[in-house]
């Protein structure tokens, strides 16, 4: 069916975006050397360009979708990601960075467009599974890059061929999407007697939910970034930095499956967010304080597990709110990803300042873990959508039963 083909194309596009991002970061020394660049500050620019682009692109996603429609908007997102691969053959470092900026914009657009497409094509019963799969797209691409970049570089003969390969693959996906996709109404096909709702960023900013949701997630994102940037700097950290990413990704995959299962079987969303957020903070702290490798590795795995358990519920919750349409959900997730990255960037910077001032990177790591409690704390300020969805399903079943009785 067409909706499953579109889902495969969307998932593959974001996974390839992640793989291109991570492989580019892993190959930074080779990239710098080929352009005659050096220094740690220069090395961070590739990732900073993508992060900046994601913040800007997330906010622009709703406007782009309204102007272009779903078919052309997602095609544009894929082509921008493909530019990141073409940038491998840039003549200078500045052009390479601009290519990474374009790639980041494409990734920002793509992740926002998951939700309106899922809301339009998939039923409420199907959405938890699809949302959970989509939540694993970045981790999938991350894993692909971690296990294949070295081998691909040796096989293809250089970093340009590896990054360029991802660009070519993304271009092929863009063509397939253009041939298979179609535009659809963003207002949810309201009744003929109802006016079309205008819901843009101006309206979204006025809605408290659109602020609380990213604030809940921003601490989790901070923890995730800190795991790869701050935790390895701690003296005596019992988890080897070379193993931490593998442990988190593997446990995260298991957590994603568990999150899909729980969200499909359990009607409420907030308890999943609340207790998973608490588990992430507790096991993240245990991972840092334990000097016992067995305990620290177990805690790291459990932290990775609880980091990804709530993602399906987090993505599904807004889709279940009353009156949600593809247009509204686009604005919600445009704000969600942009605010999450802005807040996480500020928090990571503050953690770095704390490490510099105190001379103790472990304090910065504790700060990042404390930030992850945002999911637990802010969950008390979010609306419960699962109960409403369950009640609507019951009411629909009752009405259907009544109609059958009347017909009989």
Report the alpha-carbon distance of residue 128 to residue 262 in Å, rounded.
9
The residue behind tokens 């989509």 is 134
What proportions of the chain, in percent to the nearest 5, are helix, strand and coil? 80, 0, 20
303 plus 207 within the same structural domain = yes
300 plus 166 within the same structural domain = no
205 plus 140 within the same structural domain = no
- The answer to pTM > 0.85 is no
Tokens of 179: 């041939």
82 plus 157 within the same structural domain = yes
pLDDT for position 42: 53
157 plus 126 within the same structural domain = yes
Q: How many residues does the chain have?
A: 408
pLDDT for position 358: 81
Report whether 112 contacts 58 (CB < 8 A).
yes
Average pLDDT of each block of 10 consecutive residues along the chain (408 residues)?
Answer: 92 94 82 69 62 83 88 94 87 83 91 92 92 91 88 88 92 95 77 60 88 94 83 74 81 92 91 94 90 88 94 92 88 92 88 82 87 94 74 51 47
pLDDT for position 350: 87
Overall number of domains in the chain: 2
Report the alpha-carbon distance of residue 408 to residue 403 in Å, rounded.
9
Owning domain of residue 375:
200-395
Phi, psi of 240 (to 5 degrees): -60, 135
Give the three-class secondary structure for 185.
Answer: coil
pLDDT for position 405: 46
Which CATH number covers residue 41?
1.20.1250.20
Q: Last residue of some domain: 126, 149, 184?
A: 184
pLDDT for position 245: 79
* H or E stretch covering 306: helix 293-308
C-alpha dist (Å) from residue 286 to 146, 233, 251, 306? 26, 17, 16, 14
Q: Last residue of some domain: 151, 184, 217?
A: 184
Q: Last residue of some domain: 152, 184, 216?
A: 184
Tokens of 164: 């360029």
Report the alpha-carbon distance of residue 408 to residue 250 in Å, rounded.
54
pLDDT for position 387: 64
Tokens of 228: 């790869």
């Amino acid at each position: 069916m067409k909706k499953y083909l579109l889902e495969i194309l969307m998932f593959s596009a974001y996974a390839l975006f992640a793989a291109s991002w991570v492989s580019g970061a892993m190959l930074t020394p080779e990239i710098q050397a080929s352009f005659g660049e050096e220094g740690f500050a220069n090395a961070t620019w590739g990732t900073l360009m993508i992060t900046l682009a994601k913040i800007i692109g997330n906010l622009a996603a709703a406007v782009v979708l309204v102007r272009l429609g779903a078919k052309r908007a997602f095609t544009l997102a894929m082509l921008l990601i493909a530019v990141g691969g073409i940038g491998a053959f840039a003549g200078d470092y500045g052009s390479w960075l601009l290519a990474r900026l374009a790639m980041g914009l494409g990734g920002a657009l793509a992740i926002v467009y998951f939700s309106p497409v899922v809301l339009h094509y998939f039923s409420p019963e199907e959405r938890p599974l699809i949302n959970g799969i989509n939540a694993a797209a970045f981790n999938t691409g991350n894993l692909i890059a971690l296990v294949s970049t070295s081998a691909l570089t040796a096989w293809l003969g250089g970093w340009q061929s590896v990054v360029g390969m991802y660009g070519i693959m993304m271009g092929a996906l863009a063509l397939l999407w253009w041939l298979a996709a179609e535009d659809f109404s963003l207002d949810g096909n309201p009744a003929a007697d109802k006016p079309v709702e205008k819901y843009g960023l101006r309206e979204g900013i006025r809605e408290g939910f659109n602020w609380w949701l990213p604030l809940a997630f921003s601490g989790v994102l901070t923890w995730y970034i800190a795991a790869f940037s701050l935790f390895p700097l701690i003296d005596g950290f019992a988890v080897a930095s070379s193993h931490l990413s593998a442990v988190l990704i593997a446990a995260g995959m298991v957590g994603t499956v568990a999150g899909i299962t729980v969200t499909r079987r359990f009607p409420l969303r907030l308890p999943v967010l609340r207790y998973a957020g608490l588990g992430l903070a507790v096991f993240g702290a245990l991972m840092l304080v334990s000097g016992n490798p067995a305990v620290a590795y177990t805690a790291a795995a459990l932290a990775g597990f609880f980091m990804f358990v709530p993602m399906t519920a987090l993505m599904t919750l807004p889709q279940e709110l009353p009156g949600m349409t593809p247009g509204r959900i686009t604005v919600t997730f445009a704000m969600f990803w942009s605010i999450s990255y802005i807040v996480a960037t500020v928090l990571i910077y503050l953690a770095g300042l704390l490490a510099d001032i105190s001379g103790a990177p472990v304090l910065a790591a504790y700060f990042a873990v404390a930030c992850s409690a945002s999911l637990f704390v802010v969950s008390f300020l979010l609306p419960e959508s699962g109960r409403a969805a369950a009640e609507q399903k019951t009411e629909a079943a009752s009405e259907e039963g009544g109609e059958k009785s009347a017909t009989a």
